[in-house]
Amino acid sequence: MSTPSARKQAKAASRATDFSAVTYEQAIERARALVPALRERASRAEDARSLLPESEADLHASGLLRCSQPKRWGGMELDYVALFDIPAELARGCASTAWSCANLAIHHWMLALYDERAQAEVWGENPDALIASGIAYPQGGARRAEGGFVIEGHWNFSSGVDGSQWNMLAVTVRDGQQVIDHRMCLVPRSDFEVVDDWHVLGMRGTGSKSVRVKDLFVPEHRALCMYLARGGADFPGARSNPHPHYRIPLSGVGSHCVAGAAVGNAQAALELSTVAVSDRTTNYAAARMREFQAVQLRVAAAGARIDAARLIVRKDLFEAQGIAEAGRAPTLEEKLRAKRNVAYAVQLCTEAVDSLHGMAGARGIYDHYPIQRLFRDAHSLMGHIAFSWDAQAAPWGLVALGGDYQAPATL
């Protein structure tokens, strides 16, 4: 139950920057309005290798970063599908910015699962606080200590870390050699080091640098047991944050939010390609490209793949919302099906971008031609483990065939 001091902090925070009255439709319109500016800034975001300050300011001013934050802290508390739909809109302008928004927004959602004291420490001080993450449990280790845990590790891909005041770091807790727990540890900026190693093929503007800590004590209330985030209402923040979408399993659909970057990136490729092709003639035959049936078929197939990907991801999220509202936890098959689906959806987006990039011909190799960035971004974001078809499809196939699948403890 909320303490009087926590309630007082929540009330003060919501007065400071209150987005609690913003509707889903208004949030989508705010995201759509940012697309032209993000598209103009995309190449500069690449050069900066980070979320641009002006783009971060726009995301703060619009409240989009707080689309899933509880209303009592001044957030929008929109249904979970908004965590996909908003980045999918933003990625029409810049996939890196959309990816950063998705990551930072879902961390507000995750913080709502934590003990009320942790929420008050972050949002009571600053409800706009940015929280990055390192989500690979094997990259962090921990041991129990009085009142909490001592952790250390080196985590890759901490998207948006440059502007973040906090970080959620995944650790495997051991007693000797025995694994006894998995925790997501909330760590302030002063307690982790950023390693500037983000020199990559694509998605450069996410600034997904590595972070590390050594022998750091994290109190119990800032170390969420991830077995409580598998669906249901057993998480510490359940009493103060009763909205059904906080009961959605992170392990099943947690990566669906960043899939929005893939869908929006592919949509941008389609939009830019149709504009480029509609008035273009070939260099050698001076023929109108839009008259070639092969070009028409490429455009049509790309559009169908993108629409299918969007529908697949949103269907998963509506089903997850329905399961949470019904007050039950999803089955293993349901979780694995969602993980299979999101990997397939991102694969469809990459196929669409590849086809459209191929249609660009020799122009597609120039740095100033935006399709080449979208091509690199598509292949780079598909490298995320959640979008690996081989990794995510096989478990569902095994279960569907009646095999004995040994699910990870966090699933």
**In terms of domains, do 274 and 166 share one?**
no
**In terms of domains, do 310 and 191 share one?**
no
- Under DSSP, is residue 184 helix (H, G, I), strand (E, B) or coil? strand
**In terms of domains, do 111 and 26 share one?**
yes
The structure tokens listed for 88 are 């999918």
Q: Which residue has the higher pLDDT, 363 or 155?
A: 155
Q: Which residue has the higher pLDDT, 275 or 90?
A: 90
pLDDT digits 0-9 by tens, 208-232: 999 999 999 999 999 999 999 999 9
Residue 14, pLDDT score: 45
3-state secondary structure 119-182: HHHHHCCCCCCCEEEECCHHHEEEEEECCEEEEEEEEEEECCHHHCCEEEEEEEEEECCEEEEE
- pLDDT band for position 286 (50/70/90)? low
What's the number of domains the chain is made of? 3
- pLDDT band for position 1 (50/70/90)? very low
- pLDDT band for position 180 (50/70/90)? very high
**Residue 293: is its pLDDT beyond 90?**
no
Query: For the domain that residue 364 is a member of, what is the CATH number?
Result: 1.20.140.10
**In terms of domains, do 375 and 307 share one?**
yes
pTM of the model: 0.94
**In terms of domains, do 93 and 145 share one?**
no
Q: Is residue 234 one of the residues assigned to a domain?
A: no
Query: For the domain that residue 74 is a member of, what is the CATH number?
Result: 1.10.540.10
pLDDT digits 0-9 by tens, 310-367: 999 999 999 999 999 999 989 999 999 999 999 999 999 999 999 999 887 777 788 8
**In terms of domains, do 91 and 142 share one?**
no
**In terms of domains, do 263 and 387 share one?**
yes
Q: Which amino acid is residue 236, in one-letter code?
A: P
* Domain-terminating residue out of 73, 99, 123: 123
Measured in degrees and rounded to the nearest 5, phi and psi for residue 166 equal: -140, 165
**In terms of domains, do 61 and 168 share one?**
no
* Domain-terminating residue out of 123, 139, 154: 123
Residue 294, pLDDT score: 84
pLDDT digits 0-9 by tens, 193-203: 999 999 999 99
Q: Domain residues for 141? A: 131-225
**In terms of domains, do 357 and 296 share one?**
yes
Q: Over the range 5-32, which residues count as b (16 or more CB within 10 Å of their CB) and which as e?
A: ebeebbeebbeebbbbebeeeebbebbe
Average pLDDT estimate for 152-166: 98
Residue 308, pLDDT score: 98
**In terms of domains, do 183 and 87 share one?**
no
**In terms of domains, do 208 and 93 share one?**
no
**What region, left, alpha or beta, does residue 373 occupy, with left being phi > 0 and alpha being psi -120 to 50 degrees?**
alpha
Share of the chain above pLDDT 70, in %: 94
Average pLDDT estimate for 375-388: 97
Q: Is residue 78 one of the residues assigned to a domain?
A: yes
- Under DSSP, is residue 186 helix (H, G, I), strand (E, B) or coil? strand
Closest of 325, 330, 335, 331 to residue 244, by C-alpha? 325
Q: Is residue 104 one of the residues assigned to a domain?
A: yes
pLDDT digits 0-9 by tens, 94-109: 999 999 999 999 999 9
Helix and strand numbers, DSSP H then E, in the chain: 12, 8
Residue 363, pLDDT score: 79
Residue 360, pLDDT score: 79
Longest dimension (CA), the chain: 77
Average pLDDT estimate for 157-165: 98
